[in-house]
Structure 1
């Protein structure tokens, strides 16, 4: 089933406006303006309103499409916390202003956090869950809160430390932290014969492992999904993959996953994640494919 999923009502987050390749968002008490390559339409609010509301504005460095600097108004914090709640799931995230425009959280992942929490709780015993390219750990926290034994893998040591802070702020514990190259780790786990009831993937378009290992989505995603098919238990399972790579269709994921997982794929769902602003524009923010053994 092809789906368009967006966040549920969230007290500490709101997409206020988007357009002209920017987005205006509220994270808790603070409003930020930053670049958004998908927002190809006009803004709903006038520039004067953006100028009035934004407490931090990200400006790219000249000639650099990735890095830049934040321009802060007086009273704007460089780090702060926000809360997230879904039924009995209560999480707390530390946010911060990075030189790559990110703040440590992707709010559009809310539907996947809910899926992970619900599916983990439904699995028998204490399921093993592997989260690769795990960033600051929203999915890891959701699985851990659902009762899973979680392995959180990211190639950046500082990001894992950030995720640990989120775990502690959320009153959770016992997540296993790995600073590893995802492909190398998956290959080793297959050789060891290890299995997981849940696997979560959120790979970037490109990146580097802790020892400089090259990650290129188009070149390596097929092998990684094949490895995940070997690692996932054939029953009592769930699988989630999310991609932010522009132009990488959910149908590509559909073909890759069905070819590798075969009959393991049940109750599947694929589509796009988006956020909706006050002007009712829908901002696409990634494609996903997920399935589980139970509805």
Structure 2
């Protein structure tokens, strides 16, 4: 068992988000850490937040954790689970957790644009800054749609090993095909298409030897990255995208996916920190 946990950002909705976190903790033989944050909003007219309001919010937060605990004890009593209630802001706390977690799991940012402007977009921020892979899960998954396996979006970078490792491991565990896609812009020349196909094959070279049971399909798609990624989530069980650079460097594709995806989306840093 790995000592690095799968961390679930528990917002009380549970459902598909909780199920994904449980499945990943089992698959990785890792402990699960369930975190709920109940910060006290500061009234602009006050110097300090109300102690009474803080106690009330923490009590409500404890009820959320207790409800999640009951579900986990019913469905996954075998897991090693830690429950944490914090009065810090979710973004701040979960970003710190990403330093030692092997995976963060949260819901998508299904909130109004004005809440995102005032710091409510937890998943969007973490997709740009988390130091470990982040999986965002829609509150409800459409079980009626036909799933076509795991989709990994590649852009030709030579640093895609963390992304491909995650993708192949999940596809193997789920017994699902892996669709590796490279998106090229509308109007790209035939030579550009050929280069993209060759590069896709090059990036995937050697992986079939390590994962012989995973069927891999390669496809070059003419689409803008964000639009193509969102379309892929309507037919996939999981979509994976990479994020280059240290935290603070963000791809618009990831930001769009964590807000509009129809299936779970994994955003994987391509230069993750060394595991402790």
Same fold (TM over 0.5): no
Query: Which of the two has greater helix per residue?
Result: 2
Q: TM-score per shorter chain, which class?
A: 0.3 to 0.5
Query: What's the TM-score once normalised by structure 1's chain length?
Result: 0.35
Query: Which of the two has greater strand per residue?
Result: 1
